[in-house]
Amino acid sequence: MRRSVRRFRREEISDEDLKYVLNVARHSPSGANRQPWRFILVRDLEDKRRIREICEAVEKEFYKHVSDWFLEFTRSRGINWMKPHLEEAPVLIAIAAYRRSPHWKESVWIMVGYLILAAQERGLATLTYTPSDVRWAREFFNLPEGWGLETIIPIGYPAEDPTFPGRYGLDELVFMGRWGVKDTFSK
Amino acid sequence: MRRSVRRFRREEISDEDLKYVLNVARHSPSGANRQPWRFILVRDLEDKRRIREICEAVEKEFYKHVSDWFLEFTRSRGINWMKPHLEEAPVLIAIAAYRRSPHWKESVWIMVGYLILAAQERGLATLTYTPSDVRWAREFFNLPEGWGLETIIPIGYPAEDPTFPGRYGLDELVFMGRWGVKDTFSK
């Protein structure tokens, strides 16, 4: 049932809910159990405004170079360089990743899968926002050597009810043994 | 509660359970909703044997170059180049990824997070196995241009009960606003 949400009510979320979400996330598996992640919670309005400002500048630049189909998709979903959710969501979960751990990227994103499902369980909406440039974050968050900003996840109560964008069916996604081989499984 | 499992009973799993798991997985979010994944189900014993053989050769090579701490970790968990799970698990879910989609890697691994939690719900064990070399898979699975093998997930009933490897606590993982800043949140 979970859908990505881009408009949030400014209403605070409880520490209890936030802890639940982070507790689920921290139990996810990782390469060699290195748990190559830290959660920086951003609740301060001035910090959120500054992050929005930086990210919007980055995205404006990014949108100059995107392909036609991407632009068409984002337009159809009302997505563009503007990132009001970075200011409106009561909490931003900035996730820092340790880029020297084995399979650090795979590990972090499995953990994000856990996190967004746990949020959904608590009635909280999320967006997995990956800034197209994260170099600014090293200084902003005081990240140590080897660590980088991987994603910023705004979390809060939804202020919109987006339509589910639809998914391929199993019959389109599943093959048996080799690419292209279908059988009765998905019927 | 989910732990990675490396020994599986050869007992078959039901199509119903397998469909449940894949149905959860396919509803996960992805960059621009491109759903850059296909599931190749491997149930044939000869195919599984061949995959095990290839992957063990690849891992043998890989283990020649790993760091000391990695070797120590794997030894302590009984992990080495041998991959019996690739033969013993009743089903291998080989996941192919379309490497030209936006944020394809992040998307695939969020989906893996959904998948392994859905398996856990059904009492099924999984391992997220990422072969250290996947070039062989293009020919083996007949993957089209642009697609690559991203992971092989053995799925089935566990034949071992590994100890939970332990995780950092919230007090070690969570900062407020900036790296290193703690507050009362995680107490």
Q: Give per-10-residue mean pLDDT for chain B (187 aa).
A: 94 96 98 97 98 97 94 92 97 98 97 98 97 96 98 97 92 97 75
**Alpha carbon distance B88, B169 (integer Å):** 35
Minimal CA–CA distance to A31: which of A96, A115, A99? A99
Max CA pair span of chain B: 56
Token duo for residue A91: 């909490």
Mutate to test the interface with B, among A13, A174, A182, A183 (most CBs of B within 10 A): A174
- Relative to beta strand A147-156, strand B37-42 is unpaired
In this prediction, residue A182 carries a pLDDT of 92
Q: Which residues of B touch A44 (CB under 8 A)?
A: 177
- Relative to beta strand B125-126, strand A125-126 is unpaired
Amino acid at A170: L
Taking the model in full, what pTM does it have?
0.97
Stretch A177-185: mean pLDDT, rounded? 88
In this prediction, residue A187 carries a pLDDT of 61
In this prediction, residue B186 carries a pLDDT of 63
Q: Chain B residue with minimal CA distance to A126? A: B29
> Cβ–Cβ of A70/B32 closer than 8 Å?
yes
Strand partners, A92: A42, A154
**Alpha carbon distance B112, B104 (integer Å):** 12
Q: Is the ipTM of this complex over 0.90?
A: yes
In this prediction, residue A185 carries a pLDDT of 72
- Relative to beta strand B147-156, strand B125-126 is antiparallel
Per-residue pLDDT tens over the stretch A38-82: 999 999 999 999 999 999 999 999 999 999 999 999 999 889 999
Q: Which residue has the tokens 């190749």?
A: B40
User: Which domains occur in chain B, in start order?
Assistant: 15-173 (3.40.109.10)
Q: Chain A residue with minimal CA distance to B42? A: A177
CB A175 within 8 A of CB B28: no
